[in-house]
Amino acid sequence: MITVHGRSKQLCDGRTRRELMRVGGLSLFGSMTLPRLLQAADGPFEGSAKSVIMFNLLGGPAHMDMFDMKPEAPLEIRGEFQPISTSLPGLQICEHLPNLAQWMHRATLIRTFSHSFNSHDPLPFMTGFTDNQPSSQAMSSDPPDIGAICQYLKLGPGDLPAAVCMPCFPGSGQKGWRRRGPYGGFLGKQYDPLFTRCEPTFAREPNPVNYDPVLPLGEPIAPTPEDVPEITVSRLDHRRSLLTQLDTRLSQAHRSAAIDNMDNSVQQAFSVLTSSRARNAFDLSRESLRTRDGYGRNLIGSSLLTARRLVEAGVPFISVHQEIFDHYGHAYDMHANNFGMLRDFNLPLLDQVVPALLRDLEDRCLLDSTLVVVMGEMGRSPKINRNAGRDHWPQCGFSLLLGGGVNQGHVFGTTDRIAALPTSNLVSPADLVATIYSLLGIDPEMTVDDRTGRPIPIAHGGDPIREIIS
């Protein structure tokens, strides 16, 4: 067993990531080769973030109605909302985001996220990669996302995966359509994140189909004993507590060679079940009623609260996706009723859950070491359509970053008078992802081999945005 020492990136227990990277060790998620270890270890970057929480506003949030308002533009451009002042002098955002307005002096706001990938897949901002196949499902030839690279480098605690995706895989709520982005891609399924599942309920049926969103209720569900073969509650001795039963049966299974033959999803389920830290991370009953209410008793709030618990457990990359569930709403895909969906649903939800997460992280001294990223895959069209909606607009959108080593009180990039195009400091998906890698202490110029053996840069040629890194 070889231990490689180097840069002193300390974890919560005082040990360094280098000290935890060992050649020849056994893992549920595969072994770390010496070339891969040395490549990861010798990067020039010293990251300030131990973890990333990425909140995906699926559908494409209307940037000009939220964080890049144009009050002097014609009515068919500026829309119905008014700007309000924020805690950052000179910066105004939407009137329906009063709580977030009080955090803007702590944030970096990118107003010029731009690409040409006209699809609702989170592929661009999770991988830095775009292509001309936006309507395809996740493919084995896709590049790995940030979470997969964290898995590949074996970051984080050994008893938890390095990447978790909640509340389900993106597209799960729409007949199982697997949107491209949060996967191991050409590295293999063993580098996929741990996907939780969910069984949302809804208080009512929507009025107009799709454009009257209804809040999904519930919590992300971690793997259960039934997810692991030969470990079922019905076969356990009912005379002992469930926890004791699990520990006994899982201890026996862990010594079995059959574990080595499990596929990745079952191995991940097994990992969660065998780790008391993992089981605790998904147990929201340990939270106070005040904390639960602060996030909101809904699927999105519960997922972000679980994300905070996973950060405490040492997981490096957690993504939370505001999923679209059948006919109960189109999230931020607002081709009609744009202002009603924002005013009555999306903005109040966003203005509750994100400040709750930030306060919670700060109260636990975790915000400085946790990068929170809030964004969607694209923006919306400047001109309001005849259905009072806005259409797809990947040419310009926003990304809101807080904590984790970003500059505080910083606005990066400017747009034209109707928020259609960047006029300065265009940020490509590759640039954004390179920045996130740098904040995590991962060299964005690091390469991984695709299935043909070609070395592919993990940030696809993007440059870290030095102006926003503190």
Dump pLDDT digits (tens) for 293-345: 999 999 999 999 999 999 999 999 999 999 999 999 999 999 999 999 999 99
Dump pLDDT digits (tens) for 383-394: 999 999 999 999
pLDDT (mean) for 10-20: 39
Answer whether residue 426 shows pLDDT above 60.
Answer: yes
Mean pLDDT of the chain: 86
Q: Is residue 42 part of a domain?
A: yes
pLDDT for residue 382: 98
Dump pLDDT digits (tens) for 174-197: 888 899 999 999 999 999 999 999
Q: Tell which residue, 126, 118, 130, 115, has the closest CA to residue 427.
A: 115
Q: Is residue 148 part of a domain?
A: yes
pLDDT for residue 40: 47
Q: Across the strands, what pairs with 54?
A: 319, 373
Dump pLDDT digits (tens) for 110-163: 999 999 999 999 999 999 999 988 888 999 999 999 999 999 999 988 888 999
Q: HSE-up of 173 (CA within 13 Å, CB side)?
A: 24
pLDDT for residue 129: 98
Read off the CATH number of the domain in which 169 is found.
Answer: 3.40.720.10
pLDDT (mean) for 347-363: 98
Question: Alpha-carbon distance 452 to 430, whole Å?
Answer: 22
pLDDT for residue 197: 93
Q: Comparing 435 with 246, which gets the higher pLDDT?
A: 435
Q: Which pair of structure tokens corresponds to residue 241?
A: 């507590």
Question: Alpha-carbon distance 416 to 396, whole Å?
Answer: 10
Q: Is residue 405 part of a domain?
A: yes
Question: Residue 132 sits in which domain range?
Answer: 33-222+282-468
Provide φ and ψ at 208, rounded to 5°: -70, 140
% of residues, the chain, pLDDT over 70: 79
Q: Is residue 275 part of a domain?
A: no
Dump pLDDT digits (tens) for 284-303: 999 999 999 999 999 999 99
Question: Alpha-carbon distance 253 to 242, whole Å?
Answer: 16
Chain center to CA of 179: 14
Kindly report the pTM of this predicted structure: 0.85
Q: Is residue 248 part of a domain?
A: no
pLDDT for residue 292: 97
pLDDT for residue 300: 98
Instruction: Give the number of domains in the chain.
Output: 1
- At a CB cut-off of 8 Å and minimum separation 6, what does 181 contact? 121, 122, 123, 126, 127, 138, 145, 170
pLDDT for residue 290: 97
Residue with tokens 């002992």: 240
Q: HSE-up of 82 (CA within 13 Å, CB side)?
A: 2
Dump pLDDT digits (tens) for 68-94: 999 999 999 999 999 999 999 999 999
The letter for the amino acid at 124 is P
For the chain, the farthest-separated pair of C-alpha atoms sits apart, in whole angstroms, at 72
Q: Is residue 38 part of a domain?
A: yes
pLDDT for residue 256: 47
Question: Alpha-carbon distance 102 to 83, whole Å?
Answer: 14
Alpha-carbon torsion, ordered 29, 31, 36, 40, to 10 deg: 60
Q: Comparing 115 with 37, which gets the higher pLDDT?
A: 115
Alpha-carbon torsion, ordered 167, 170, 173, 174, to 10 deg: 180
Q: Is residue 386 part of a domain?
A: yes
Dump pLDDT digits (tens) for 447-468: 999 999 999 999 999 999 999 9
pLDDT for residue 11: 36
Question: Alpha-carbon distance 409 to 165, whole Å?
Answer: 29
Q: Is residue 3 part of a domain?
A: no
Chain center to CA of 420: 26
pLDDT for residue 252: 53
pLDDT band for position 259 (cuts 50, 70, 90): very low
pLDDT for residue 35: 41
